[in-house]
Amino acid sequence: MNPGKTLAFHSYKGGTGKTTLITNLAAYFAKNGKKVCLLDFDLYAPTLTIYFRKTPRFFLNNLLSGEAEISDVLVDLSPELGLEGKFFIGFSNPGKEDVRDIEIKHEIKWQLAAIRRFLSAKKKLFEEYQIDYLFLDTSPGIRYWSINTLATADILLLIMKDNDVDIEGTKKMITDIYDTLTDFGSKYFIVLNKVPGASPKNEYKFEEDEKNFQEDLERSFGAKIVGSIPCFCDIQFSRHEFLFAIEQPEHPFSKKMVTLAERVEGLTLV
């Protein structure tokens, strides 16, 4: 059996750049020959259909409701993007009916049945599709569906900005969710995103201050920081920022993705 990894990206709140990081990291792995699957499990506010400008015939919602198989849902973007490996994506339906149903109709019984269907699909992805990496984009905050999704992952990457709201919220999630999930074999790590940059005059001081800040965070959270991504305004305020790691490999953000990919690849499950 292919010993692939399942990585869930999560955050305390929206606006951390979680989806930008997960799409670029997944595409980077596929560019370099890996078999990758990215599933948009941010069912409350799905965005990958907009990001990739795709409208598939079947959505992940159909899989979770028992109306489709994983083979119906997957869209292979590797030929279109010219990638060496495979890049499968499962999109969630951004339509208001499906988003509203999650809040109103999908009670615990539905969610338990949905997670069983996903676990069956996950098994197929690793055994039949021979996926190396399964990436799960999740809804921010403490939501029942997000917790269920996190529980299916081997590695949890918690995306956060270095401000007081994110720091305190992240600490609460670690206590309320992540420490419990480690009892079931999951491991969690921190990725700092949109970190303020240094001015040329104070670059050394910034690097020292940032290093000390990260060391303090690691001690406080009891988790290792595996990535620190500066804030790039040309990405954050782009009208349609799209796969910089593929389209602009020389961009500083893309080089940060290379470093993050190397660290993620080195993460062990034991």
pLDDT attached to residue 175: 87
Q: Facing residues of 157 across strands?
A: 9, 189
Contacts for 65 with CB less than 8 Å, ≥ 6 apart: 114
Q: Show me where the domains of the chain are located.
A: 5-266
Contacts for 269 with CB less than 8 Å, ≥ 6 apart: 5, 154, 155, 185, 187
Indicate the pairing of strand 35-41 with strand 133-138. parallel
Q: What is the DSSP letter of 201?
A: G
Domain 5-266 class, CATH top level:
alpha beta
Tokens, residue 100: 């509203």
If you compute the radius of gyration of the chain from its CA atoms, what whole number of angstroms results? 18
pLDDT attached to residue 186: 83
pLDDT attached to residue 200: 46
What is the layout of strands, in order, in the sheet containing 5-10?
Answer: 75-76, 86-90, 35-41, 133-138, 5-10, 155-160, 187-195, 225-230
pLDDT attached to residue 197: 64
pLDDT attached to residue 1: 46
> Closest Cα to residue 37, out of 1, 65, 80, 5?
5
Q: Which helix (H) or strand (E) holds 101?
A: helix 96-104
Contacts for 266 with CB less than 8 Å, ≥ 6 apart: none
Query: 0.85 cut: is pTM over it?
Result: yes
CA distance 16 to 24: 14
Cα–Cα distance list, 124 to 49, 52, 127, 137, 139 (Å): 23, 24, 5, 19, 24
**pLDDT per position in the chain (270 positions), as tens?**
457 999 999 999 988 999 999 999 999 999 999 999 999 999 888 999 999 999 999 999 999 999 999 999 999 999 999 999 999 999 999 886 655 565 555 677 888 899 999 999 999 999 999 999 999 999 998 888 888 899 999 999 999 998 889 999 998 888 888 888 887 778 999 999 998 864 444 544 556 677 888 888 899 888 999 999 998 888 877 778 789 999 999 999 999 999 999 999 998 765
